[in-house]
Amino acid sequence: MAKATKKDDRRLIRIFDTTLRDGEQSPGNSMNIEEKLRVAKQLQKLNVDVIEAGFPIASEGDFEAVKRIAQTIKGPEIAGLCRSSDKDIDRAWEALKHAGEKGRIHTFIATSDIHMKYKLKMEPGKVLEAAVKAVKRASSYTPNVEFSCEDAVRTRIDFLAEVVEAVIDAGATTVNIPDTVGYTIPFEYFNIIKHLKDNVRNIDKAVISVHCHNDLGLSVANSIAAIQAGAGQVECTINGIGERAGNCSLEEFVMILKTRADILPFRCNVATEQITPASRLLSTITGIAVQPNKAVVGANAFAHESGIHQHGVLMEKSTYEIMTPDSVGLKANLLVLGKHSGRHAFKKRLVELGHDLSDEDLNKAFDKFKALADLKKEVFDEDLEALIAEEVLRPAEKYKLDHITVTCGSFAVATATVQLEIDGLPVRTAELGDGPVDATLKAIKKLTKTKGKLLQYNVGSITGGTDAQGEVTVRVADGDKTVMGRGSSTDIIEASAKAYINALNRLHYQKGKFIEGL
């Protein structure tokens, strides 16, 4: 006779992931459609409840990304953000309708006095009217409507309650109370959510959502306080990316619920073993590494250097580890890859790292892996991540590196001869510089005629050893657009060139992305 399963009485908290919308809005985090789709597929594996796929009216690229994700992803609901205007809402549903009943229109308007006066230049009555009108229009397309009171925590509490009640009456099934500027602190946020629970007549007809920014480092703490007060959905991002200081970190929030289930009567549907693959995939795509001491997914999260700590962990892991590496999908690399490794072992490791490649991409990556294995004795996970970033996830290439020749020395001026392909046509030039990297980047800038400004240049070793690959990341700005570029090679000059060209290709994509006037 089968055992009866124990009922889980903990309250379910819905996880709304906005990595592809709010996360992408931070400088350097922009993604093309294929990259967004890869992240969405990993979020599907992570089993989040809602994926906010983008802001459909912002650009043709965003519209197509939301549409593709709505057509492709199964399981999570797919949300699209829109302002409280007919045009925005209509455009959002045009993309989201492909998700059917799982399509969610997420509309918003600011409700704080400072936003109404200086940004909207609208009276409160007109803002309330616009909010209700927007929700009614969205509800004409789908019953799955979320409404956000932008800058809710700086909104007069009575007016906030009035807006929330009115939009629920108009058809909103989720109401979001965002800390848009990361201003609140836990006990204050708790009281705001509790006031709405206690004073809004129809609050039981909608899920209260929270969306916390990290400007004061309190986004996760505020989100915990909010669910304790009655919120049922938390909006967050992988690696905590997002505008300014970022958003509530999905991995931190989820692992708090799991680790402190003894005192927090909440649960969520996230498959925590997919957290590390999700974190690494996002870093690979954006080129923005996670800080080593980042909670849950940082390189040092499960590292123990102190002798006392090492001894304790060897005797009993729970002495200094409150969660296991396996619980967040961090597995020891038991499979050492080298030049004798076959395609099956290579593919198996990529799948474990969260990369499901097409046959064409797998063949391309395997060829590059073999070339790399000829240069290195062992190929580590970090090498594979860099290889995938460079050979599979890179944007469409207007500029492509052909070859570099550099001469330099203690008593010689560095000279770089660079040959590129621009739109498939070979071009070549030579430049002098203050060192080989400077000369190389000057030659690339001359050939591409770019006006992009190099803001940041970082170089590091992907793994240890004298045969390690060097990895270069650059930040390049052109007008109001900023992108990250990433390149790797056993030759640091080549890695620098690849990173700079990668950034220029991303800038080229960005220039064609946004609609004029938005």
Summarize the annotated binding site for Mn(2+) as residue ranges: 22, 211, 213, 247
Distance (Å, whole) CA 354 – CA 45: 9
Going by C-alpha positions, the residue among 32, 74, 75, 36 that lies closest to residue 53 is: 36
Q: Give backbone dihedrals phi and psi of 61, rounded to 5 degrees, phi first.
A: -60, -45
Q: Kindly give the residue spans of alpha helices, DSSP state H, lying in 149-260.
A: 157-170, 186-199, 219-229, 250-259
Q: Give backbone dihedrals phi and psi of 508, rounded to 5 degrees, phi first.
A: -60, -40
Is residue 148 within 8 Å of residue 83, measured between CB atoms? no
Going by C-alpha positions, the residue among 459, 496, 455 that lies closest to residue 478 is: 455
| Binding-site residue ranges | 22, 211, 213, 247
Bridge partners (DSSP) listed for residue 488 = 471
Bridge partners (DSSP) listed for residue 472 = 459, 487
| Biggest alpha carbon–alpha carbon distance for the chain | 84
The Cα-based distances of 228 to 111, 210, 253 in angstroms read 24, 12, 13
Please give the full DSSP string across 276-328, using - where no structure is assigned.
Answer: HHHHHHHHHHH--PPPTT-TTTSTTTT---SHHHHHHHHH-GGGT-SS-GGGG
